[in-house]
């Protein structure tokens, strides 16, 4: 019988997700807003996270390209955006530093 633990370790990543009051995983809500909940490790397919990162990067690139077209030249040299990974493998943009998050995924976009 083939040992699949190595395949699982390469193809999945563990993500901490909050539990709802009824003990079920809390869907796509973010981790950082749940300060008084229990958390559980959930295996997330790496392909799902890769797809989410690609989609976010494409969206951000589109936004910056549009701003550059409208302004004639993009004055912005660099932008840093922070994201959290939700229980479904999506990325949620963290809109405020006041949330006090730790462990966010930071994507840095630099002007070529």
Distance from C-alpha of 92 to C-alpha of 66, rounded to nearest angstrom:
22
Quick one: average pLDDT of 89-98?
78
CB of 25 within 8 A of CB of 17? yes
Chain centroid, CA 33 distance in Å: 14
pLDDT value of residue 53: 93
| Distances 18 to 29, 44, 103 between C-alpha atoms, Å | 8, 14, 15
Q: Determine the Cα–Cα distance for residues 52 and 88; give it in Å rounded to an integer.
A: 10
- What pLDDT, in 10s, does the model give residues 23-79? 455 554 444 444 566 888 889 999 999 999 999 999 998 988 888 788 776 567 788
pLDDT of residue 31: 44
């Amino acid at each position: 019988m083939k040992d699949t633990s190595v395949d699982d370790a390469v193809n999945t990543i563990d993500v901490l997700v909050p539990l709802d009051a009824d003990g079920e995983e809390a869907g796509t809500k973010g981790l950082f807003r749940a300060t008084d909940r229990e958390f559980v490790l959930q295996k997330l397919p790496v392909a799902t996270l890769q797809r989410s990162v690609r989609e976010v990067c494409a969206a951000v690139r589109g936004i910056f390209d549009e701003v550059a077209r409208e302004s004639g030249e993009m004055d912005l040299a660099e932008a840093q955006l922070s994201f959290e990974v939700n229980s479904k493998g999506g990325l949620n943009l963290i809109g405020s530093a006041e949330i006090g998050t730790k462990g966010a995924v930071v994507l840095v976009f630099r002007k070529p």
